[in-house]
Amino acid sequence: MSILLDAALPAISALPMNQRLMALDLGAKTIGVATADYTRQFATPRHTIERTKFTPDAKALIEFAAKENIGLIVLGLPLNMDGTEGPRCQSTRTFARNFGKLSPLPIIFWDERLSSFEAEQQMIEAGMRRDKRQANIDNVAAAVILQGLLDEIRAIKTEPTH
């Protein structure tokens, strides 16, 4: 089990079933948003927020979270391919720390390595035109991040105990 999952499980386990999870894929210019269904089986890309300044971006996320009954945020952590943290991870952790000052929603991190690549592949396989792929890459990447977490949790629940 990964360190990120070890840290995430208690927060997810404590979440009431009437609350949903929201994933964010932070980019320099946009924030991709995805949500899980109430059964926590499926992640769905929702929308992309054009980044302006931190406070209005955070306000838009907080309003969306309230409207969608979100109880926990999964934030993609852009680890380097060797698993180390670079400047983008520091920026993501700073975003989480600042967001935590404005919202009581718990935030957990999930490894987002190759999420944009996987999102692009999914859209190509679906026959999406290049301009549509470009417009949707961040919210589909957020769904890839969230689905990865949901699949990992489901795998743990179905593992036989010895």
Give the pLDDT score at 85. 83
Give the pLDDT score at 15. 84
Give the pLDDT score at 135. 66
What one-character DSSP code corresponds to residue 5? H
Q: From CA 149, how far away is CA 9, in angstroms rounded?
A: 10
Give the pLDDT score at 95. 96
Mean pLDDT of the residues in the chain: 85
pLDDT tens figures, 28-39: 899 999 999 999
Q: Is the pLDDT of residue 72 over 70?
A: yes
Domain of 103, in residue numbers: 3-158
Q: From CA 125, how far away is CA 63, in angstroms rounded?
A: 33
Q: Is the pLDDT of residue 83 over 60?
A: yes
The DSSP code sequence of 66-109 is HHTTEEEEEEEE---TTS---HHHHHHHHHHHHHHHH----EEE
Rounded to two decimals, the pTM is 0.83
For residue 112, what is the domain's CATH number?
A: 3.30.420.140
Q: Is the pLDDT of residue 86 over 50?
A: yes
The total of structural domains in the chain comes to 1
What one-character DSSP code corresponds to residue 24? E
Give the pLDDT score at 1. 38
Q: From CA 39, how far away is CA 47, in angstroms rounded?
A: 21
Q: Once rounded to an integer, what is the mean pLDDT over residues 83-102?
A: 92
Q: Once rounded to an integer, what is the mean pLDDT over residues 151-156?
A: 81
3-class SS at 110?
strand
Q: Where are the beta strands (DSSP E) in the chain?
A: 20-26, 30-36, 43-50, 70-77, 107-111
pLDDT tens figures, 102-143: 999 999 998 887 666 676 777 677 777 787 767 666 787 899
